[in-house]
Chains A and B, each alone.
Chain A
């Protein structure tokens, strides 16, 4: 038994060993979802997710032995959130971070914080945990004051021990009782003053890295349950094909094969060992006969379809008072389908025993998956438990929910046996829900002085989120017998979401109109990819701004500053320009510099970014040599962790921009591996990537995981225009496209 197995299995017993508070705990976590929705009168607003799970001990639990557990409903996806949350709790509880046990998403244990998405983890969970920890600390101190008969202000708190001037002391463990922290949180907390912070704002090594670099059990892929069997699912060759017949008998005879499972067009094989399962999967694929399948549009058909398909119109900005127009500039832009492309294909583990179905998943939302799986196998929701375990970075809604559901579906039909489903590389490449294709159109007018007098922006896109959609959103749900119909797409209701995220320009504009055309259906499977529509909206706006600046004859950095009021925006732009050495000097032929800026969701992290690149006209090669970026995420919890996120976003955004597009041949997805879907490799990384962080300890935390992809795309596009004199409207800038556009 390895440590991960142990941890996963014993989480409840760990909690159960924690002393008096435990009794109330399960009541707490069960009660909340209903309570929050139902109880009038409207309760006061509490910080972050405390607003949904309002009792302190839903977040912070102290055992009789003094051990402290912190609960989060947000998942570690490689973004370092576990470490940041521990830092917050340790800071406010005045504890050594090493002593804190973080309990990660588990439908049976932790608060329901929905999806770990939209760069909201610090906002939701971070604020909840920090405030809960601060309030717990004050309650513990007050209790100590009473018990030690001392003035609270005179007590000294160190490492979980509260000491009175008399020398008498009590530990957290000694102070805690069943009801002490089982209280509703207050809207205001006594947070540690910025000047007294010891952990927040300082880089702390990530808690998950040691296991990851020493071969520890760090991933769901490493979970080995006793008696666990390995399964593989055989998918249809194309979307929409159905399984006509399959000779299961010959596969059942293969060494190690325990079961061949078919339900409608859902076909899977279960074997003792992993490679036996793979061999059986291949034979099964060889003998399975499929029929039918739908047509797929490649490019440009997909873009044509986008504009023709039925769409709902959402007005994002409606402030249309066109002024004088001396000059009009117009452009249309396209972005193809893009993959999440996790390096580790999705994995799911499930175990059905005693009428309870437990699913281990590396997805972004254990609670929505719990609901979907319950529907899939037709079990009451309280008989399904979903537990998050780290996986390969997912960057949004990839195959992870499906793999979890695959495992659940098979395990449900093999009671008593833990089942591990591992997707193969082509499963992930062909079946993950892609980031949708998009089309944007923009036209602006300038007056004689070069000021923008009108701005018209339209974005066409299908949904950027096909979950939660219950069992209908899962491949198992639509390939099984009596399939659930495929999801009906609903237009977004909240601002800055879906395809219109960052469609609203951040700039001061006297007149602007922004329309989101929510396209109701397209053949390719899509869902949320890191940044949703923001990446491409920012690309469009930023490259267009550059064009407008050029038309106005103003330096693009200067032009942006003129159109921005927000001093924080100004600061990241100025800092980037300074560190980059922004200048108006002409670069040698074939070289260019470009600038990009955005505030993610117009409410999260500010990022400005400058790029220098070389363009080789002969090969069409775009070589990014240097990227300098500055970010402002409000109060910084873990500066190195933040830098890591911004850097990663720059690299991923660069890869999307230069290389990536999902392709098909009219029927099947042809980008089925890294050979047909190239992403950035070492030889293409810029020589230099510098990220500068502006810390604002007096401001709220802002999400950063999705903040840099859009700005870097804009900066690359602008640098390319600077190098070539040509405005690129279509992504990606593959060599082939560059040659076609530039000519020889």
Chain B
């Protein structure tokens, strides 16, 4: 049994210890946000946050994550009570097909947790590992800028802690 903490919730999972986190999230925990894009660390569709760092879940064996905090888009809020980054993505309509979006969001979230006011150059450099084929990069930039300001204003609620039920909504 491998013990994980995902979006603040303790989980016990029975898989081979080298199973990449992505498959545990999708298969065992039935979370949707992290996506399979390449399984090679080339596209970022699977990005999640581990202890504040953006990480490719497709290349992270699950057992190395024991005792560390994993966060996915489900942990940022829900459709009815979206967190600031989610609100920003909705308001900026920062998606087309949306397949890359959750990965983009987790990478952006990691940046915003480190830097409250990133410059455009900071955002662009940080987002480099994540691909979008639909061409939404400018909208994502706008959304990240907006999220940065939402996070700073008082009315924006901080990222929701346990919200693993997001999948069921």
Contact = CB atoms under 8 A, between A and B. Distances in A.
Do A and B have CB atoms closer than 8 angstroms in the complex? yes
Interface of A: 2-3, 77-80, 205-206, 208-219, 221-222, 224, 230, 255, 273-275, 278, 341-345, 390-393, 395, 422, 424-425, 640-641, 644-645, 647-652, 655, 673-675, 679-683, 685, 689
The 3 A-B residue pairs with the shortest CB-CB distance, nearest first, are: A78-B97, A651-B135, A212-B98
Given A206-B95, A216-B169, A682-B137, A273 B27 contact: yes
Given A2-B30, A209-B89, A215 B72 contact: yes
30 contacts: A2-B32, A3-B168, A3-B169, A78-B97, A79-B96, A209-B98, A212-B95, A212-B98, A213-B86, A213-B102, A214-B76, A214-B78, A214-B169, A215-B33, A215-B167, A219-B99, A273-B23, A274-B23, A275-B20, A345-B36, A345-B37, A393-B97, A425-B38, A647-B135, A651-B137, A652-B135, A673-B40, A680-B137, A681-B131, A685-B137
Q: Residue among A78, A219, A230, A341 with the most chain B CB within 10 A?
A: A78
A78 B137 contact: no
B contact residues, range? 35 or more
B112 to A, nearest CB: 15
Contacts of A205: 90, 93
B124 interface: yes
Interface in B35-89: 35-40, 42-43, 45, 72-74, 76-79, 82, 86, 89
A433 to B, nearest CB: 16
A215 B73 contact: yes
Given A206-B93, A391-B97, A652 B42 contact: no
A213 B131 contact: no
B148 interface: no
B19 interface: yes
Interface in B104-136: 105, 124-125, 127-128, 130-136
B23 A216 contact: no
Interface string B137-165: 11100000000000000000000000000
A679 B166 contact: no
Q: Residue among A343, A649, A685 with the most chain B CB within 10 A?
A: A343
Contact of A78 (B37, B73, B74, B134): B134
A343 B43 contact: yes
B137 A2 contact: no
B86 A214 contact: yes
B12 to A, nearest CB: 16
A648 B128 contact: no
A644 B136 contact: yes
Contacts of A647: 135-136, 138-139
A640 to B, nearest CB: 6
B4 interface: no
Nearest to A214: B79
Contacts of A215: 31-33, 72-74, 102, 166-167
A194 B90 CA distance: 28
A343 B99 contact: yes
Given A216-B32, A218-B32, A210 B79 contact: yes
B139 to A, nearest CB: 7
Contacts of A640: 93
B116 to A, nearest CB: 20
B15 interface: yes
B156 to A, nearest CB: 15
B88 to A, nearest CB: 9
Contacts of B93: 205-206, 209, 640-641, 644
A229 to B, nearest CB: 11
A644 B139 contact: yes
Contact of B166 (A78, A216, A342, A391): A216
A209 B133 contact: no
B32 A674 contact: no
B8 to A, nearest CB: 14
B95 A209 contact: yes
Given A2-B168, A215-B167, A219-B32, 7 more contacts: A216-B166, A275-B19, A344-B36, A393-B96, A393-B134, A679-B133, A682-B130
B45 to A, nearest CB: 6
Contacts of A390: 97
A650 B135 contact: yes
Given A3-B169, A216-B79, A80 B96 contact: yes
Given A275-B15, A275-B27, A649-B135, A393 B99 contact: yes
A644 B38 CA distance: 25
Nearest to A217: B32
Contacts of A681: 128, 131
A213 B105 contact: yes
B125 A683 contact: yes
Q: Residue among A80, A215, A390 with the most chain B CB within 10 A?
A: A215
A343 B167 CA distance: 22
Contacts of B36: 221, 344-345, 422
B131 to A, nearest CB: 6
B90 A213 contact: yes
Contact of B167 (A209, A217, A230): A217
B26 interface: yes
B23 A343 contact: no
A418 to B, nearest CB: 14
B106 to A, nearest CB: 10
A275 B95 CA distance: 28
A78 B96 contact: yes
Contacts of B135: 647-652, 655, 680
A392 B73 contact: no
B38 A674 contact: yes
Nearest to B166: A215
A731 B131 CA distance: 22
Nearest to A689: B138
Nearest to A77: B97
A398 to B, nearest CB: 10
B77 to A, nearest CB: 7
